[in-house]
Amino acid sequence: MQFPILTSLVALPVAGAILLLLVRGDEEQSAPFVRKIALIVSLLVFGETLLLWSRFNPGSGDFQFVERHAWIPAFGIEYAVGVDGISLLLIVLTGFLTPLALLSSWESVRKHTRAFSIFLLLLESAMIGVFVSLDLFLFYIFWDAMLVPMYFLIGIWGYERRIYAAIKFILYTMAASVLMLLAIIGLAYLYQTTNGVYSFDLLKLYDLPKTRHQELWLFAAFALAFAVKVPLFPFHTWLPDAHVEAPTAGSVILAGVMLKMGTYGLVRFAFPLFPEAAAFVAPALAGLAVIGIVYGALVAMVQPDMKKLVAYSSVSHLGFVVLGITAMNTQGVQGAVYQMLNHGVSTGGLFLIVGMLSDRRHTRQISEFGGLKKVTPRLVAAFLIVTLSSIGLPGLNGFVGEFLILLGAFRWDPRLAAFAATGVILSAAYMLWMFQRVNYGPVTNDKNARLPDLQPREWAIIVPIIAVAVLMGVFPNLFLRPIEPSVQRMLNQVQRGAPARIQAVNR
């Protein structure tokens, strides 16, 4: 029997959390020990995700490392997991960001360190679970279970309005998800009426014939759940609150991985399961995406709070991802998947840097800073690189994704691409303006005069981020190669369902 690598990936963080439960001693004694164990576990998980990547056959678009076990046979529910090129790198991203999130909270989390580490590890398990599930029931379990640790992370270790933000986050996303649960159940019964047995198996449900009417309702339920998660304009209102109030580690995971659940869901579930409905609704979704790109950018521009600015920039960047998906051609979807990774790295990096500044000054107001370049030159250099990567400077990661998405969008509808392209310019405007106000000019606030520069721990956080940003910008093919066959396969899937649309696009 093959080694169950995916199951062990899901189980390893949980095992780490259980191990931490057994640690004795009060906060003072146990905290350093707890932090180390959590970091080691998360590094092991990251190592295992790299191992997964190295074993992955990039030439195939099929699901690999598939494990299947009967779970609730009466309803055809299986424990079925597998990865393809779309989910592979998202799993690696999860493994990459979790240790950084733990490192970022090394000193800023001072109470209940053990519980903090446990929740973060449980969250990692659930996130990996979402990416590997091939059974819709299993997927939903991870999807919903993910909310609980995040709720605690925001609610216990967040900033002033953390309780409000935590409850808004969980209720908002749950309200949208429960309808998807009904749609999942509906799909299984639909399968039963044609095949006699229930099934929640994604691969079987792909090929299940559905009427147009059924597709539209089911697609609506799925798309709503994902749109809230992305978040697509106008469902984004939970995001600024959650991001701003969450501790740095929470923001990094939220922006870096959890937002991708929404776009991943569109690519993996909503579009291939309901191709006809997707083709019908795609223009509207693309419209919302473009509005989100411009709106997010404009709102970001006027934010006085750095964290809120980065949060709104996420609305804008994720709009690009949705636009790429709705274009439904190779470049668009490939760019979208690539952009998901980029956004995880660069926005994760931005939140980490804002977290470092906020650790030093206990404020995130742009106006409180100024002239940092003279005080903390190394930190500012890192800040600059991450900022440029977020803007999409050629040579860094952001450029490749945005370029592919705009190319895909242009092939579909040049008008959409034109509007979306303004988002690229706007993002340069708000990011650089923020950067300028924080780092250039004279030191206006005496409190900033003696800030320490990067600590060794912070080097360990920022160097990997920059290294990956450069790697992804210079060698995009390294990452695009495993993505492509799976994207192709997914497009074929959609094409079978809605041939007219695809042909019209690929003229």
Partner 1 sequence: MMSSFNAIVPMACVTAAGIAAMVAEAFRDPGERMPIGGLGAVGLLGAAIATWLLWDRNAVSFGVVSADKFGLFVTGILIVVGLLSLAISGPTIERERLPRGEYYALMLFAIAGMMLMATATDLLVIFLALEVLSLAVYVLTGIRRDSQKGTEAALKYFLLGALSSAFFLYGIAFTYGLTGTTRLDRIGSLLAAQAMAPTPMQLLAVGLVLVGFAFKVSAVPFHMWTPDAYEGAPPAVTAFMSTGVKAAAFAAFVRVFLSAFEPLKGSWSEPIVAGWSQVVWVVAAATMIVGTVVGVAQTNVKRMLAYSSIAHGGYLLVALVAANDVGKASVLFYLLTYAVTNIGAFGVITLLDNLDQPNDEVRDYAGLWNHHPALAALMTVFLLSLGGFPPMAGFIAKWYVFSAAVKAGDNVLAIIGVLTSVVSVFFYLRIVVMMYMTPSDTPARFPAVPRMAGAALIASAILVFYLGILPTRVIDWAAASIATIF
Q: How many contiguous H segments (helices) and E segments (strands) does the chain have?
A: 23, 2
Show contacts with partner 1 in window 349-378 (CB under 8 A).
none
Considering the rule CB under 8 A, would residue 147 count as an interface residue with partner 1? yes
For partner 1, the closer CB: 245 or 402: 245
Candidate ranges 134-142, 335-343, 347-355, 372-380; the one touching partner 1 (CB under 8 A): 134-142
Give the shortest CB-33-to-partner 1 separation in angstroms. 18
Give the shortest CB-134-to-partner 1 separation in angstroms. 17
Please report where in the chains the tokens 């509207």 appear, as a residue.
284
For partner 1, the closer CB: 125 or 334: 125
Counting every residue, how long is the chain?
Answer: 507
Give the shortest CB-385-to-partner 1 separation in angstroms. 36
What are 205-211's contacts with CB under 8 Å, separation 24+? 205/136, 205/273, 206/272, 206/273, 206/493, 210/274, 210/276
For partner 1, the closer CB: 118 or 341: 118
Asked if 260 contacts 253 with a C-beta cutoff of 8 angstroms, the reply is no
Judged by CB under 8 A, the residue of 67, 144, 305, 413 near partner 1 is 144
The C-alpha atoms of residue 75 and residue 93 are separated, in whole angstroms, by 33
Give the shortest CB-307-to-partner 1 separation in angstroms. 20
Q: Counting Cβ atoms within 10 Å, is residue 471 exposed (0-12), middle (13-18) or buried (19+)?
A: middle
Judged by CB under 8 A, the residue of 25, 32, 59, 73 near partner 1 is 73
Applying CB under 8 A, what is the total number of residues that bind partner 1?
A: 33
Q: Counting Cβ atoms within 10 Å, is residue 19 exposed (0-12), middle (13-18) or buried (19+)?
A: middle
The C-alpha atoms of residue 217 and residue 290 are separated, in whole angstroms, by 24
For partner 1, the closer CB: 189 or 440: 189
Show contacts with partner 1 in window 181-240 (CB under 8 A).
181-182, 185-186, 188-189
Give the shortest CB-74-to-partner 1 separation in angstroms. 6
Query: Nearest CA to 461 among 103, 73, 61, 19?
Result: 103
For partner 1, the closer CB: 177 or 376: 177
- Kindly write out the interface string for residues 155-184 of this chain, putting x where it contacts partner 1 by CB under 8 A and - elsewhere: xx-----xx--xx--xx--xx--xx-xx--
Candidate ranges 69-77, 224-232, 347-355, 380-388; the one touching partner 1 (CB under 8 A): 69-77
Judged by CB under 8 A, the residue of 72, 418, 425, 478 near partner 1 is 72
Give the shortest CB-79-to-partner 1 separation in angstroms. 10
Lookup: tokens for 40 = 């080691």
Query: Nearest CA to 439 among 497, 353, 506, 334?
Result: 353
Judged by CB under 8 A, the residue of 63, 140, 410, 479 near partner 1 is 140
The C-alpha atoms of residue 437 and residue 45 are separated, in whole angstroms, by 39
- Kindly write out the interface string for residues 12-51 of this chain, putting x where it contacts partner 1 by CB under 8 A and - elsewhere: ----------------------------------------
Q: How many CB atoms lie within 10 A of CB 311?
A: 27
Give the shortest CB-141-to-partner 1 separation in angstroms. 4
For partner 1, the closer CB: 140 or 320: 140
For partner 1, the closer CB: 72 or 449: 72
Give the shortest CB-195-to-partner 1 separation in angstroms. 15
Asked if 200 contacts 76 with a C-beta cutoff of 8 angstroms, the reply is yes
Judged by CB under 8 A, the residue of 141, 393, 460, 466 near partner 1 is 141
For partner 1, the closer CB: 50 or 171: 171
The C-alpha atoms of residue 35 and residue 113 are separated, in whole angstroms, by 7
For partner 1, the closer CB: 44 or 185: 185
Judged by CB under 8 A, the residue of 145, 220, 298, 381 near partner 1 is 145
Query: Nearest CA to 255 among 237, 233, 229?
Result: 229
Q: What is the DSSP string of 424-466?
A: HHHHHHHHHHHHHHHHSS----GGGTT-----HHHHHHHHHHH
**127 residue type, one letter:** M
CA distances from 398 to 137, 263, 314, 389 (A): 34, 17, 13, 5
For partner 1, the closer CB: 77 or 254: 77
For partner 1, the closer CB: 54 or 193: 193
Q: How many CB atoms lie within 10 A of CB 70?
A: 11
Q: For the stretch 418-450, what's the b/e string if a residue is b when 16 or more beta carbons lie within 10 angstroms of its beta carbon?
A: ebbeebbebbbebbeebbebbbeeebeeeebee
Give the shortest CB-332-to-partner 1 separation in angstroms. 33
Candidate ranges 2-10, 33-41, 144-152, 245-253; the one touching partner 1 (CB under 8 A): 144-152
Contact positions vs partner 1 (CB under 8 A): 71-75, 137, 140-142, 144-145, 147-148, 151-152, 155-156, 162-163, 166-167, 170-171, 174-175, 178-179, 181-182, 185-186, 188-189
